[in-house]
Amino acid sequence: MQQKTSEKVVVRIPPSPTGFFHIGRARMALFNYLFAKKHGGEIVFRLEDTDKERSKKEFEEDIIESLKWLGISYDQGPFRQSERGEIYKKYIQKMLDNGTAYVSHETEGENKEVIRFKNPNKTVTFSDEIRGEISFDTTELKDFVVARNIDDPLYHLTVVIDDHESGITHVIRGEDHISNTPRQILLQEAIGANRPVYAHLPMILAPDRSKMSARHGAVSVREYRAMGYLPHAFNNYLALLGWNPGTEQEIFTMEELIEQFDLKKIQKGGAIFDQKKLDWVNKEHIKLLPEAEQKKLLLKSIENEPYMTGEPELDVEKICWRYINQGETIRHLEKVKELLKEEWTIYKREIMAYSEQEGRGNVLWPVRYALTGAEASPDPFIMLEFLGKEKSLKRIEKAIMALKNAK
Ligand code: GLU
Protein backbone atom coordinates (compact mmCIF):
# COMPACT_ATOMS: atom_id res chain seq x y z
CA MET A 1 0.00 0.00 0.00
CA GLN A 2 1.47 3.33 -1.05
CA GLN A 3 1.39 5.95 1.69
CA LYS A 4 -0.14 9.34 1.18
CA THR A 5 2.32 12.21 1.09
CA SER A 6 0.08 14.35 3.29
CA GLU A 7 1.35 12.24 6.18
CA LYS A 8 4.31 13.43 8.20
CA VAL A 9 7.53 12.50 6.43
CA VAL A 10 9.86 10.19 8.36
CA VAL A 11 13.15 9.16 6.77
CA ARG A 12 16.09 7.11 7.94
CA ILE A 13 19.85 7.34 7.76
CA PRO A 14 20.93 3.74 8.29
CA PRO A 15 24.65 3.26 7.61
CA SER A 16 26.40 0.01 8.43
CA PRO A 17 29.49 0.65 10.58
CA THR A 18 31.61 -1.64 8.44
CA GLY A 19 33.99 1.01 7.11
CA PHE A 20 34.77 4.70 7.31
CA PHE A 21 31.82 6.88 6.30
CA HIS A 22 32.21 7.21 2.55
CA ILE A 23 30.92 9.64 -0.02
CA GLY A 24 28.11 7.32 -1.13
CA ARG A 25 26.71 7.04 2.36
CA ALA A 26 27.30 10.74 2.99
CA ARG A 27 25.26 11.64 -0.10
CA MET A 28 22.54 9.23 1.01
CA ALA A 29 22.48 10.92 4.42
CA LEU A 30 22.41 14.38 2.86
CA PHE A 31 19.53 13.59 0.48
CA ASN A 32 17.49 12.18 3.34
CA TYR A 33 18.28 15.26 5.38
CA LEU A 34 17.31 17.67 2.60
CA PHE A 35 14.11 15.81 1.86
CA ALA A 36 13.07 15.63 5.52
CA LYS A 37 13.84 19.31 6.14
CA LYS A 38 11.99 20.37 3.03
CA HIS A 39 8.85 18.53 4.14
CA GLY A 40 9.08 19.32 7.84
CA GLY A 41 9.78 15.66 8.49
CA GLU A 42 11.84 13.64 10.94
CA ILE A 43 15.12 11.80 10.58
CA VAL A 44 15.86 8.51 12.29
CA PHE A 45 19.52 7.54 12.55
CA ARG A 46 20.30 3.88 13.04
CA LEU A 47 23.46 1.86 12.84
CA GLU A 48 22.97 -1.38 10.98
CA ASP A 49 25.43 -3.51 12.84
CA THR A 50 23.98 -7.01 12.44
CA ASP A 51 27.19 -8.13 10.73
CA LYS A 52 29.13 -8.77 13.91
CA GLU A 53 32.39 -9.59 12.17
CA ARG A 54 32.61 -6.45 10.06
CA SER A 55 30.93 -3.88 12.35
CA LYS A 56 33.40 -1.88 14.44
CA LYS A 57 33.10 0.76 17.14
CA GLU A 58 35.77 2.80 15.36
CA PHE A 59 33.62 3.03 12.23
CA GLU A 60 30.56 3.89 14.28
CA GLU A 61 32.41 6.81 15.84
CA ASP A 62 33.64 7.90 12.44
CA ILE A 63 30.08 7.96 11.07
CA ILE A 64 28.80 10.01 14.01
CA GLU A 65 31.73 12.42 13.75
CA SER A 66 31.34 12.80 10.00
CA LEU A 67 27.61 13.53 10.21
CA LYS A 68 28.36 16.13 12.84
CA TRP A 69 31.06 17.73 10.71
CA LEU A 70 28.69 17.87 7.74
CA GLY A 71 26.00 19.39 9.90
CA ILE A 72 23.54 16.58 9.15
CA SER A 73 21.48 16.29 12.30
CA TYR A 74 18.83 13.75 13.20
CA ASP A 75 15.79 13.66 15.44
CA GLN A 76 16.00 10.11 16.74
CA GLY A 77 18.88 7.77 17.39
CA PRO A 78 21.45 6.53 17.01
CA PHE A 79 19.72 3.18 17.36
CA ARG A 80 21.80 0.06 17.05
CA GLN A 81 20.34 -3.07 15.55
CA SER A 82 22.56 -5.08 17.88
CA GLU A 83 20.53 -3.68 20.81
CA ARG A 84 17.11 -4.50 19.39
CA GLY A 85 17.13 -8.30 19.60
CA GLU A 86 13.97 -8.45 21.74
CA ILE A 87 11.97 -6.47 19.19
CA TYR A 88 13.06 -8.67 16.30
CA LYS A 89 12.31 -11.79 18.29
CA LYS A 90 8.71 -10.70 18.79
CA TYR A 91 8.25 -10.30 15.04
CA ILE A 92 9.92 -13.58 14.17
CA GLN A 93 7.68 -15.37 16.65
CA LYS A 94 4.65 -13.71 15.08
CA MET A 95 5.75 -14.82 11.63
CA LEU A 96 6.29 -18.37 12.83
CA ASP A 97 2.85 -18.33 14.46
CA ASN A 98 0.98 -17.03 11.43
CA GLY A 99 2.87 -19.21 8.98
CA THR A 100 4.69 -16.49 7.00
CA ALA A 101 7.94 -18.05 8.25
CA TYR A 102 8.93 -21.55 9.31
CA VAL A 103 11.81 -23.40 10.87
CA SER A 104 13.56 -25.29 8.15
CA HIS A 105 15.65 -28.36 8.77
CA GLU A 106 18.61 -27.99 6.48
CA THR A 107 20.32 -30.88 4.86
CA GLU A 108 23.21 -28.81 3.55
CA GLY A 109 25.59 -26.37 5.22
CA GLU A 110 26.64 -25.93 8.85
CA ASN A 111 23.33 -24.80 10.35
CA LYS A 112 20.99 -27.62 11.03
CA GLU A 113 18.05 -25.28 11.36
CA VAL A 114 17.30 -21.82 9.98
CA ILE A 115 14.17 -19.70 9.72
CA ARG A 116 12.88 -19.28 6.21
CA PHE A 117 10.30 -16.94 4.79
CA LYS A 118 7.27 -18.61 3.23
CA ASN A 119 7.46 -16.95 -0.15
CA PRO A 120 4.02 -16.36 -1.72
CA ASN A 121 5.81 -16.43 -5.11
CA LYS A 122 4.24 -13.42 -6.71
CA THR A 123 5.21 -10.49 -8.83
CA VAL A 124 6.04 -7.43 -6.73
CA THR A 125 5.60 -4.06 -8.42
CA PHE A 126 6.72 -0.85 -6.81
CA SER A 127 7.03 2.68 -8.00
CA ASP A 128 10.41 4.31 -7.51
CA GLU A 129 10.45 8.11 -7.35
CA ILE A 130 13.53 8.18 -9.57
CA ARG A 131 13.32 5.08 -11.70
CA GLY A 132 9.58 4.72 -12.19
CA GLU A 133 7.70 1.44 -12.01
CA ILE A 134 9.72 -1.69 -11.28
CA SER A 135 8.34 -5.24 -11.34
CA PHE A 136 10.04 -8.28 -10.00
CA ASP A 137 9.00 -11.91 -10.01
CA THR A 138 9.92 -13.03 -6.52
CA THR A 139 9.62 -16.75 -7.28
CA GLU A 140 13.33 -16.88 -7.97
CA LEU A 141 14.06 -15.72 -4.41
CA LYS A 142 12.58 -19.00 -3.16
CA ASP A 143 11.90 -19.34 0.56
CA PHE A 144 14.83 -17.14 1.55
CA VAL A 145 16.38 -17.31 5.02
CA VAL A 146 15.31 -14.45 7.33
CA ALA A 147 17.03 -15.53 10.55
CA ARG A 148 19.63 -18.03 11.68
CA ASN A 149 17.42 -18.62 14.69
CA ILE A 150 14.88 -16.63 16.68
CA ASP A 151 17.66 -14.59 18.32
CA ASP A 152 19.66 -13.98 15.19
CA PRO A 153 17.72 -12.21 12.43
CA LEU A 154 19.34 -11.41 9.11
CA TYR A 155 19.71 -8.02 7.51
CA HIS A 156 16.55 -7.81 5.37
CA LEU A 157 14.29 -8.62 8.24
CA THR A 158 15.88 -6.14 10.64
CA VAL A 159 15.63 -3.36 8.04
CA VAL A 160 11.94 -4.03 7.48
CA ILE A 161 11.12 -4.28 11.18
CA ASP A 162 13.07 -1.11 12.01
CA ASP A 163 11.47 0.86 9.19
CA HIS A 164 8.05 -0.29 10.35
CA GLU A 165 8.68 0.44 14.03
CA SER A 166 10.00 3.90 13.20
CA GLY A 167 7.09 4.66 10.87
CA ILE A 168 9.40 5.35 7.93
CA THR A 169 7.49 6.92 5.04
CA HIS A 170 10.36 7.35 2.53
CA VAL A 171 13.36 5.15 1.83
CA ILE A 172 16.04 7.12 -0.01
CA ARG A 173 19.11 5.01 -0.60
CA GLY A 174 21.72 3.90 -3.12
CA GLU A 175 20.80 2.03 -6.25
CA ASP A 176 22.82 -0.94 -5.01
CA HIS A 177 19.83 -1.66 -2.74
CA ILE A 178 17.29 -1.80 -5.52
CA SER A 179 17.48 -5.58 -5.80
CA ASN A 180 16.79 -5.84 -2.05
CA THR A 181 13.51 -4.00 -2.39
CA PRO A 182 11.23 -6.85 -3.62
CA ARG A 183 12.42 -9.05 -0.78
CA GLN A 184 11.84 -6.30 1.73
CA ILE A 185 8.37 -5.59 0.33
CA LEU A 186 7.42 -9.25 0.79
CA LEU A 187 8.57 -9.07 4.40
CA GLN A 188 6.61 -5.83 4.96
CA GLU A 189 3.49 -7.58 3.77
CA ALA A 190 4.20 -10.52 6.05
CA ILE A 191 4.50 -8.38 9.19
CA GLY A 192 1.66 -6.03 8.20
CA ALA A 193 3.84 -2.97 7.60
CA ASN A 194 3.01 -0.09 5.28
CA ARG A 195 5.11 0.21 2.18
CA PRO A 196 7.29 3.31 2.17
CA VAL A 197 7.90 5.41 -0.92
CA TYR A 198 11.20 4.39 -2.54
CA ALA A 199 13.85 6.52 -4.21
CA HIS A 200 17.04 4.78 -5.35
CA LEU A 201 19.94 7.15 -6.00
CA PRO A 202 22.25 6.67 -8.99
CA MET A 203 25.69 5.22 -8.34
CA ILE A 204 28.66 7.49 -7.81
CA LEU A 205 31.24 6.74 -10.50
CA ALA A 206 34.92 7.51 -10.93
CA PRO A 207 35.90 9.69 -13.93
CA ASP A 208 36.52 6.50 -15.97
CA ARG A 209 32.89 5.52 -15.21
CA SER A 210 33.90 2.53 -13.14
CA LYS A 211 32.59 2.13 -9.61
CA MET A 212 34.23 4.71 -7.34
CA SER A 213 36.77 3.05 -5.05
CA ALA A 214 39.86 3.87 -3.00
CA ARG A 215 42.05 3.35 -6.03
CA HIS A 216 40.55 6.54 -7.54
CA GLY A 217 41.56 8.65 -4.57
CA ALA A 218 39.89 9.63 -1.33
CA VAL A 219 36.52 7.99 -0.70
CA SER A 220 35.88 8.66 2.98
CA VAL A 221 34.50 11.87 4.41
CA ARG A 222 37.32 11.96 6.98
CA GLU A 223 39.89 12.21 4.18
CA TYR A 224 38.14 15.21 2.63
CA ARG A 225 37.83 16.76 6.03
CA ALA A 226 41.57 16.32 6.60
CA MET A 227 42.26 17.95 3.24
CA GLY A 228 40.61 21.10 4.52
CA TYR A 229 37.39 21.25 2.50
CA LEU A 230 34.65 23.30 4.03
CA PRO A 231 31.90 21.03 5.29
CA HIS A 232 29.22 23.00 3.56
CA ALA A 233 31.12 23.10 0.28
CA PHE A 234 31.38 19.34 0.56
CA ASN A 235 27.60 19.05 1.09
CA ASN A 236 27.01 21.35 -1.85
CA TYR A 237 29.16 19.16 -4.05
CA LEU A 238 27.54 15.95 -2.80
CA ALA A 239 24.13 17.42 -3.60
CA LEU A 240 25.21 17.83 -7.21
CA LEU A 241 26.08 14.14 -7.49
CA GLY A 242 22.95 13.07 -9.27
CA TRP A 243 20.77 16.10 -8.57
CA ASN A 244 20.42 19.59 -9.95
CA PRO A 245 17.58 22.08 -9.71
CA GLY A 246 17.21 22.39 -13.48
CA THR A 247 18.76 25.88 -13.49
CA GLU A 248 22.32 27.15 -13.91
CA GLN A 249 22.81 27.53 -10.15
CA GLU A 250 25.59 25.39 -8.72
CA ILE A 251 26.52 27.13 -5.49
CA PHE A 252 23.93 26.80 -2.74
CA THR A 253 23.56 27.58 0.92
CA MET A 254 22.06 24.76 2.98
CA GLU A 255 18.76 26.69 3.07
CA GLU A 256 18.74 26.91 -0.71
CA LEU A 257 19.45 23.21 -1.04
CA ILE A 258 16.57 22.38 1.27
CA GLU A 259 14.27 24.76 -0.53
CA GLN A 260 15.10 23.49 -4.01
CA PHE A 261 15.67 19.80 -3.38
CA ASP A 262 13.28 17.55 -5.25
CA LEU A 263 13.46 13.76 -5.62
CA LYS A 264 11.92 14.11 -9.09
CA LYS A 265 14.98 16.02 -10.28
CA ILE A 266 17.41 13.24 -9.47
CA GLN A 267 18.94 11.64 -12.55
CA LYS A 268 18.83 7.91 -13.31
CA GLY A 269 22.33 7.63 -14.77
CA GLY A 270 25.51 7.36 -12.72
CA ALA A 271 27.00 10.53 -11.21
CA ILE A 272 30.68 11.15 -11.89
CA PHE A 273 32.81 12.24 -8.97
CA ASP A 274 35.07 15.06 -10.12
CA GLN A 275 37.51 16.42 -7.59
CA LYS A 276 38.27 19.49 -9.70
CA LYS A 277 34.63 20.44 -9.53
CA LEU A 278 34.69 19.90 -5.78
CA ASP A 279 37.72 22.20 -5.55
CA TRP A 280 35.87 24.85 -7.50
CA VAL A 281 32.76 24.57 -5.31
CA ASN A 282 34.99 24.83 -2.25
CA LYS A 283 36.68 27.98 -3.57
CA GLU A 284 33.33 29.57 -4.31
CA HIS A 285 32.21 28.91 -0.75
CA ILE A 286 35.40 30.34 0.68
CA LYS A 287 34.72 33.54 -1.27
CA LEU A 288 31.36 33.83 0.44
CA LEU A 289 32.90 33.85 3.89
CA PRO A 290 33.74 37.03 5.80
CA GLU A 291 37.34 38.15 5.26
CA ALA A 292 38.47 37.16 8.74
CA GLU A 293 37.14 33.63 8.19
CA GLN A 294 38.87 33.40 4.83
CA LYS A 295 42.16 34.37 6.43
CA LYS A 296 41.74 31.81 9.16
CA LEU A 297 41.20 29.11 6.55
CA LEU A 298 44.12 30.27 4.50
CA LEU A 299 46.33 30.26 7.55
CA LYS A 300 45.18 26.75 8.39
CA SER A 301 45.89 25.57 4.86
CA ILE A 302 49.51 26.78 5.01
CA GLU A 303 50.28 26.09 8.65
CA ASN A 304 52.49 23.15 7.75
CA GLU A 305 54.45 24.92 5.03
CA PRO A 306 58.18 25.15 5.88
CA TYR A 307 58.16 28.96 5.71
CA MET A 308 55.64 29.14 8.54
CA THR A 309 58.00 27.44 10.97
CA GLY A 310 61.47 28.55 9.99
CA GLU A 311 63.33 30.90 7.71
CA PRO A 312 62.99 29.88 4.08
CA GLU A 313 65.87 28.67 1.96
CA LEU A 314 66.27 31.14 -0.88
CA ASP A 315 67.35 30.37 -4.38
CA VAL A 316 69.08 33.64 -5.38
CA GLU A 317 68.03 33.30 -9.01
CA LYS A 318 64.41 33.15 -8.05
CA ILE A 319 64.35 36.27 -5.92
CA CYS A 320 64.16 38.46 -9.02
CA TRP A 321 61.01 38.66 -11.07
CA ARG A 322 61.69 36.68 -14.27
CA TYR A 323 65.23 36.08 -13.02
CA ILE A 324 66.53 39.50 -14.09
CA ASN A 325 67.48 42.90 -12.71
CA GLN A 326 69.30 42.05 -9.52
CA GLY A 327 70.24 45.66 -8.91
CA GLU A 328 66.69 46.84 -9.40
CA THR A 329 65.39 44.10 -7.17
CA ILE A 330 67.72 45.15 -4.38
CA ARG A 331 66.41 48.69 -4.72
CA HIS A 332 62.78 47.51 -4.54
CA LEU A 333 63.37 45.32 -1.54
CA GLU A 334 65.20 48.14 0.25
CA LYS A 335 62.28 50.44 -0.46
CA VAL A 336 59.72 47.92 0.82
CA LYS A 337 61.85 47.38 3.91
CA GLU A 338 61.78 51.13 4.60
CA LEU A 339 58.05 51.32 4.06
CA LEU A 340 57.48 48.44 6.41
CA LYS A 341 59.65 49.97 9.08
CA GLU A 342 57.92 53.31 8.86
CA GLU A 343 54.42 52.46 7.82
CA TRP A 344 53.67 49.00 9.16
CA THR A 345 50.02 49.81 9.85
CA ILE A 346 49.36 51.02 6.31
CA TYR A 347 51.97 49.04 4.41
CA LYS A 348 49.51 47.59 1.96
CA ARG A 349 48.54 50.99 0.59
CA GLU A 350 52.12 52.21 0.46
CA ILE A 351 53.60 49.10 -1.11
CA MET A 352 50.73 48.89 -3.57
CA ALA A 353 51.33 52.48 -4.68
CA TYR A 354 55.05 51.84 -5.06
CA SER A 355 54.54 48.67 -7.05
CA GLU A 356 52.03 50.32 -9.39
CA GLN A 357 54.77 52.76 -10.22
CA GLU A 358 57.63 50.24 -10.56
CA GLY A 359 55.71 47.30 -11.97
CA ARG A 360 53.79 44.90 -9.78
CA GLY A 361 55.82 41.80 -10.62
CA ASN A 362 59.12 43.66 -10.14
CA VAL A 363 58.20 44.53 -6.57
CA LEU A 364 55.65 42.01 -5.33
CA TRP A 365 57.36 38.85 -6.58
CA PRO A 366 60.66 39.45 -4.75
CA VAL A 367 58.82 40.40 -1.58
CA ARG A 368 56.69 37.28 -1.60
CA TYR A 369 59.60 35.05 -2.50
CA ALA A 370 61.78 36.61 0.19
CA LEU A 371 59.08 35.88 2.74
CA THR A 372 58.38 32.27 1.73
CA GLY A 373 61.12 30.92 -0.52
CA ALA A 374 58.22 29.27 -2.34
CA GLU A 375 57.00 29.86 -5.86
CA ALA A 376 53.43 29.21 -4.80
CA SER A 377 52.15 30.81 -1.62
CA PRO A 378 49.53 33.34 -0.53
CA ASP A 379 50.00 36.92 -1.67
CA PRO A 380 52.73 39.05 -0.06
CA PHE A 381 50.32 41.20 1.95
CA ILE A 382 48.74 38.19 3.58
CA MET A 383 52.19 36.75 4.24
CA LEU A 384 53.33 40.02 5.82
CA GLU A 385 50.33 39.90 8.08
CA PHE A 386 50.83 36.25 9.03
CA LEU A 387 54.56 36.59 9.69
CA GLY A 388 54.47 39.94 11.46
CA LYS A 389 56.83 42.88 11.25
CA GLU A 390 59.98 41.46 12.80
CA LYS A 391 60.12 38.19 10.86
CA SER A 392 59.15 39.90 7.62
CA LEU A 393 61.90 42.49 7.89
CA LYS A 394 64.46 39.84 8.72
CA ARG A 395 63.52 37.76 5.70
CA ILE A 396 63.59 40.71 3.34
CA GLU A 397 66.97 41.71 4.71
CA LYS A 398 68.22 38.16 4.12
CA ALA A 399 67.08 38.29 0.49
CA ILE A 400 68.83 41.61 -0.01
CA MET A 401 72.02 40.15 1.41
CA ALA A 402 71.75 37.07 -0.78
CA LEU A 403 71.41 39.25 -3.86
CA LYS A 404 74.31 41.47 -2.85
CA ASN A 405 76.56 38.48 -2.23
CA ALA A 406 75.66 36.97 -5.57
CA LYS A 407 76.59 40.11 -7.47
N1 GLU B 1 22.98 -0.23 5.83
C2 GLU B 1 22.93 0.01 4.43
C3 GLU B 1 24.21 0.70 3.97
O4 GLU B 1 24.94 1.23 4.77
C5 GLU B 1 21.75 0.86 4.03
C6 GLU B 1 20.51 0.06 4.02
C7 GLU B 1 19.27 0.76 3.50
O8 GLU B 1 19.31 1.94 3.20
O9 GLU B 1 18.25 0.11 3.44
O10 GLU B 1 24.49 0.67 2.79
Q: Which of 48, 56, 126, 198 to mutate to test the pocket of ligand 1 (most atoms within 8 A of CB)?
A: 48
* 209 belongs to a structural domain: no
* 3 belongs to a structural domain: no
Q: How many domains does the chain have?
A: 3
CA distance linking residue 355 with residue 362, whole number of Å? 7
Check whether residue 49 and residue 183 sit in a common domain: yes
* 346 belongs to a structural domain: yes
Mean pLDDT, residues 159-169? 98
| Whether the CB of 50 sits within 6 Å of ligand 1 | no
Check whether residue 265 and residue 328 sit in a common domain: no
CA terminus-to-terminus distance, the chain: 87
Check whether residue 321 and residue 284 sit in a common domain: no
User: Domain with 171 in it: what CATH number?
Assistant: 3.40.50.620
Q: What is the DSSP string of 65-88?
A: HHHHHHT---SEEEEEGGG-HHHH
| Whether the CB of 16 sits within 6 Å of ligand 1 | yes
Residue 376: which residues within 8 A CB-CB, separation 6 or more? none
pLDDT class of 151 with cuts at 50, 70, 90: very high
Check whether residue 378 and residue 262 sit in a common domain: no
CA of 335 to the centre of ligand 1 (A): 64
* 2 belongs to a structural domain: no
Check whether residue 265 and residue 244 sit in a common domain: yes
CA of 155 to the centre of ligand 1 (A): 10
Mean pLDDT, residues 150-165? 97
What is residue 324's predicted lDDT score, i.e. its pLDDT? 80
Q: Which of 159, 171, 179, 187 to mutate to test the pocket of ligand 1 (most atoms within 8 A of CB)?
A: 159
| Whether the CB of 72 sits within 6 Å of ligand 1 | no
* Counts of helices then strands in the chain (DSSP H, E): 17, 13
Last residue of a domain, one of 278, 302, 326: 302
* 154 belongs to a structural domain: yes
Check whether residue 295 and residue 313 sit in a common domain: no
Is the CB of residue 22 less than 8 Å from the CB of residue 56? Answer: no
Q: Is the four-CA dihedral 387, 391, 393, 396 of positive or negative sign?
A: negative
Last residue of a domain, one of 186, 204, 222: 204
Mean pLDDT, residues 222-242? 95
CA of 16 to the centre of ligand 1 (A): 6
pLDDT class of 375 with cuts at 50, 70, 90: confident
* 168 belongs to a structural domain: yes
User: Domain with 320 in it: what CATH number?
Assistant: 1.10.10.350
Q: What are phi and psi of 64, to 5 degrees?
A: -60, -45
What is residue 318's predicted lDDT score, i.e. its pLDDT? 94
Last residue of a domain, one of 268, 302, 336: 302
* 143 belongs to a structural domain: yes
Q: Which residue has its alpha carbon closest to ligand 1 atom 2?
A: 15
Check whether residue 61 and residue 187 sit in a common domain: yes
Q: Which pTM value belongs to this model?
A: 0.83
Residue 20: which residues within 8 A CB-CB, separation 6 or more? 59, 62, 220, 221, 222
CA of 360 to the centre of ligand 1 (A): 56
pLDDT at 357 over 80: yes
CA distance linking residue 266 with residue 268, whole number of Å? 7
Q: Which residue has its alpha carbon closest to ligand 1 atom 3?
A: 15
| Whether the CB of 173 sits within 6 Å of ligand 1 | yes
CA of 41 to the centre of ligand 1 (A): 20
pLDDT at 304 over 50: yes
Per-chain mean pLDDT for the chain: 94
* 150 belongs to a structural domain: yes
Check whether residue 81 and residue 52 sit in a common domain: yes
| Whether the CB of 17 sits within 6 Å of ligand 1 | no
Mean pLDDT, residues 145-160? 96
| Whether the CB of 196 sits within 6 Å of ligand 1 | no
| Whether the CB of 177 sits within 6 Å of ligand 1 | yes
Check whether residue 74 and residue 164 sit in a common domain: yes
Q: Which residue has the higher pLDDT, 324 or 136?
A: 136
Mean pLDDT, residues 234-261? 97
Is the CB of residue 123 less than 8 Å from the CB of residue 116? Answer: no
What is residue 1's predicted lDDT score, i.e. its pLDDT? 42
Check whether residue 157 and residue 35 sit in a common domain: yes
| Whether the CB of 373 sits within 6 Å of ligand 1 | no
Check whether residue 320 and residue 291 sit in a common domain: no
Mean pLDDT, residues 128-139? 97
Atom of ligand 1 nearest to the CA of 18: 4
Check whether residue 137 and residue 242 sit in a common domain: no
State percent of the chain over pLDDT 70.
98
What is residue 40's predicted lDDT score, i.e. its pLDDT? 98
Is the CB of residue 50 less than 8 Å from the CB of residue 155? Answer: yes
Which domain, by its residues, includes 369? 306-406
pLDDT at 111 over 80: no
User: Domain with 244 in it: what CATH number?
Assistant: 1.10.1160.10
HEC-encoded secondary structure of 215-282: HHCCCEHHHHHHCCCCHHHHHHHHHCCCECCCCCCCCCCHHHHHHHCCHHHECCCCEECCHHHHHHHH
CA of 109 to the centre of ligand 1 (A): 27
CA of 161 to the centre of ligand 1 (A): 14
Question: What are the pLDDT digits (tens) for 50-88?
Answer: 999 999 999 999 999 999 999 999 999 999 999 999 999
CA of 202 to the centre of ligand 1 (A): 14
DSSP assigned state of 20: S
